Every structure is written in C-alpha cells, then in structure tokens.
Amino acid sequence: MASKEQPRGSIPSMQTSGDALTGETVVVVLGASGDLAKKKTFPALFNLFRQGHLPGDLHIIGYARTKMDDDEFHKRATQYLGKAPEGNEKEFNEAVDKFKSISSYVAGPYDEDSGFQELLKHVEDIENQRSNGGEAKRNRLFYMALPPSVFTVVAKGLKKNCYSKEGHNRIIIEKPFGKDLESCREMMTALKAEWHENETYRIDHYLGKEMIKNMLVLRFGNVVLDAALNKNTVSNVQITFKEPFGTEGRGGYFDEFGIIRDVCQNHLMQTLSVLAMERPVSFSAEDIRDEKVKVLRCIPPITQKDVLLGQYVGKDDKPGYLDDDTVPKGSTCPTFAAMVLWVNNPRWQGVPFIMKAGKALNEAKVEVRVQFKDVPQGIFTEVPRNELVLRIQPSEAVYLKLNSKLPGFVSRAIPTELDMTYKDRFTDADIPAAYEALILDAFKGDHSNFVRDDELDVAWKIFTPILHWIDGKDGEKPKPEPYEYGSRGPKEIDAFTSKYNYERTDDGIYSWPQTNVAANL
C-alpha cells in the first residue's frame, strides 16, 4: 500500500530536480522582438507566472536590436496571450497588468560589449531596488530566442558582461544546433568555452510535449507494453510529422535548412530515442539521457537507398514551393522526406523505423505508429495487424488496435480500438504547452527534457552523410519527387513504406468512459 508521503503511482526520481531558482530572479529574453519570443516564450512565461509557478521576486527583460519603449514592448509581449478564460476575465486581465509591471525592455546590439553592459546596468538597477542593496542571491536566466548565426557571440557577450556572481546562471538555447556534425561541434565547443553543461539548456520543444513525456511511463510502467516492444513482435515503427501548410513566405529561411534539419534530425529523432531506449536506472536527468545516447549510438548513418524526397507543387489556388518568392529559383530543397533508420541492438535488430515529415500535406498530425507482426496463418483469413498508436498532436491519444469477434451470429474478426484519447479520458486536464513545461524545468534545474551535448553529436553523425548528399557536397544534388499541395506526399510513398513491410489499414472508432483527474489525485 502506498504511504502518505508517496501516493500510489508516484515517480520520485521524475519529481527530483536540481537547484531551483527561488527568490530574486531576472529572466532576459534575447530576440524579444521576434516571432518566437512573441508567440511562444512570452505566452509561456505569462501562463507560468499567472499560475504561480515562477519565483515571487521575478522580473522579465526583453533585449533586441529593435528600438522601442516599454509600452510598445508590453504590447508586443502580450500580443499572443490569448483570450481570457470565460468567467475569469477579471483575474486574467489583472494578471496581464501585473505581468507588464514586472517586464521591461532594453535595446542593443548582439555583437558589442556596450549593449550587454547597458543590459547589465538595467538588470542590476532592478536587483538593487528589490533587494535594497542586500546580499540576497541574484539568479539570472537568459533565453536565446535568436537565429543560430548569433548564438555563440551572444553567449560569449552574456558570460563576459552579464554573468551573476551572487546566484545561479542559466542559458536556454533554441534549435537548430548547427547544420551538420562539423558545424554543431564548432558551435558546442564555442558555447562550452563560456558556459558549463549544467548551466546550459538546449530546447527541443518536442521533449516538452505531454505525449513524449508520457512515453517513459507507458514504456516502463506497463509490463505488457515493454515486453511487446521488440524485434520478436514488432514488424515496423512509423514516426510521422505532417503539416497542412507550406512555407507561406518563409521559404528563404526554410530553404537554408530543409525538412530534415527542421524536423527529422531533432524533433523526430528525440521521439525515436525515447521510444526505443532501454529502461533507465531512474527517471533522473542523466540516467534518462544516458539511455537515449546509448540507443542513438546503435543507429548507423542513414543510406541513400533508404530515403525518399519530395517537394510540393501548386494545386488549385495553393502555390507550390518554387512559387514562393523567398525561395531561390530552381531550388531542390526537399519539403518532404521519408527515411528508414535501423537500431542495431538486441531489442530492435532488423526492425525498420520509418521516419516521415512533410509540409503542405493533407492534414496536421504527429504520431508514432508501432505495427506488429502478422498473426500466424491457418485460423484467420487476412486478419489485420495489431497497432499501437501514440498521437502526439493534435488531441493527444494512445490507442491499441486489436481484433475482436463481431457480436452476434456472424463468425468474423474485425479491428477495434482500446482508446485513451486525453480530452475524453481526462476531462478536466489542463495540459501545459511544451514551452511552459520546458521553461519551468529550467527554473527547477531539471535537465531531463533538454538535449545533452553528446546526444547532439551522435544524432548529427546519423544524418550528416545524407544531408551532404542532398546539399550536393558529394556530387549532383538529388531531385525531389513532386507532390500536390494537400496530398499525402509523393505518389511513391506507399511503395516506399511497403518495402519495409508496412501494411496500410483503415482506422476504426472506439470511445472510452470519462475519468475525472482531480478525483484521482
């Protein structure tokens, strides 16, 4: 029986974190005038602040090259906070006003000490006012919502000019972390020369998504699932990322990176590592990341024969990729990629992991689909395969496709689902956005859901050869297959996945009863 100290089902090692930031804390958001800060960083900080998860003595400073006063900054920082919850309009609006009161702005360059010295002066003025000149800890968290071209110079400028000697310092860095193995190593070497690994938080926001975090519990908290996920029972695994829109005027940025660097090498690779890793000693940060690195080291570089590339073309009133004025003329940059990875260890040897990602497709969806092997022949006629599906977004869900007898006098097996759709099962759950979860982890000092430097290194080893081939560094660039805007991808996709023993089937529908979250705490 569970004790009062540890409720039944608790996960002590997952609740353990490092040194939490408490008391006097200043958050500096660099790139404060950009889209990432406005649409993700500030809304996440506001929601955490409103819900009381952040230190009481908190101040937020925006820093960017754009010149503006505090009123203009407040307007931009609160632009994407969303609507007030029905019935809580007064409380929400009061929280917005208070959020503005603890926020201010400094304009300055990213490559000159003078800018960071002006930032330091503003930080120290705030700290001195609130501590009355006392000796309280002065914690500083720097969030770099910046393009990768300025990561290292900004990190160096912050360490030289704005590093606190009386408290904890943390720096949060957004992807992409380089463009290949060599550039990643150059960036990491430059960062590590200034910031210790325990001060550095490399964000891949997929690690903050509820379903990715739940994979650990699903895998290792259920004997039946962990026992079934291996080469003896699994035919193939698909990890799919689909967006229903194209580059929409951002083709210039996208063309520099492509779909593989933008999605596969980071988001989907993190998903794969959590799904395929072995049981860690605990759910502490280093134990989890040790197992992720171990499984990634078992994956050889992707080969050309295991890749299908595509680029969307216009259909009806939807423009093609090359119709985007910001895209270089004649670009062969893939907007769709399907590739197969092999995990050469005792659990997964011979099981293809099919990774698919694309823009301008027929729907918005990110999911993991584990397809099991065929039932032995002799009793059934073409009975469908079992599948375990983990839907990451939209509408988080876990469902297991099973075969069941059709009720009544008919002797026939039909596919059904054991379905745990979050919004139906957990009726009052308030699932935090990925950025909220990760920023809170950084405040807690918990590295579990951030990317370690050796993870990056081994992941780039897997992808760099195929990226150099696509970039034309090893000869002529491959030409991607065209596919229509709003389709499922290149027409070759079904033939490609069938080579790796995937069988496409139709989904069934099943509804579970509702579960009240609060009643089960």
Helix (H), strand (E) at residue 214: helix 210-220
Q: Taking the CA of residue 390 as centre, how many other CA atoms within 13 Å lie in the half-sphere pointing to its CB?
A: 22
Residues in the chain: 521
Using CB atoms within 10 Å of the CB of residue 266, give its burial: 0 to 12 exposed, 13 to 18 middle, 19+ buried.
buried
Measured CA angle at 425 (ends 421, 429), to 5 deg: 100
Question: How far is 263 from 53, CA to CA, in rounded Å?
Answer: 30
Closest CA relative to residue 372, chosen from 477, 227, 509: 227
User: Is 196 part of the annotated catalytic residue set?
Assistant: no
Which two structure tokens, joined as six digits, stand for 131? 């501590």
Strands 25-30 and 139-144: parallel
Which own/partner pairs from 130-138 qualify as long-range (CB within 8 Å, at least 24 positions apart)?
130/24, 130/57, 130/59, 131/24, 135/166, 136/23, 136/24, 136/166, 137/23, 137/24, 137/166, 137/167, 137/168, 138/24, 138/26, 138/164, 138/166, 138/167
At which residue do the structure tokens 């290792």 appear? 220
Contact predicate 435/44, CB 8 Å: yes
Using CB atoms within 10 Å of the CB of residue 52, give its burial: 0 to 12 exposed, 13 to 18 middle, 19+ buried.
exposed
Tell whether the torsion through CA atoms of 96, 98, 99 and 100 is positive or negative. Answer: positive
Which two structure tokens, joined as six digits, stand for 47? 């929601």
DSSP state of 317: T
Contact predicate 28/141, CB 8 Å: yes
Question: How far is 415 from 405, CA to CA, in rounded Å?
Answer: 9
Question: How far is 47 from 40, CA to CA, in rounded Å?
Answer: 11
CA 436 to chain centroid = 12
Which two structure tokens, joined as six digits, stand for 18? 């490092």
Contact predicate 352/500, CB 8 Å: yes
Which two structure tokens, joined as six digits, stand for 384? 């469908």
Question: How far is 270 from 518, CA to CA, in rounded Å?
Answer: 31
Contact predicate 60/142, CB 8 Å: no
Contact predicate 48/143, CB 8 Å: no
Q: Which of 168, 205, 267, 447 is catalytic?
A: 267
- The residues assigned a catalytic role are 267
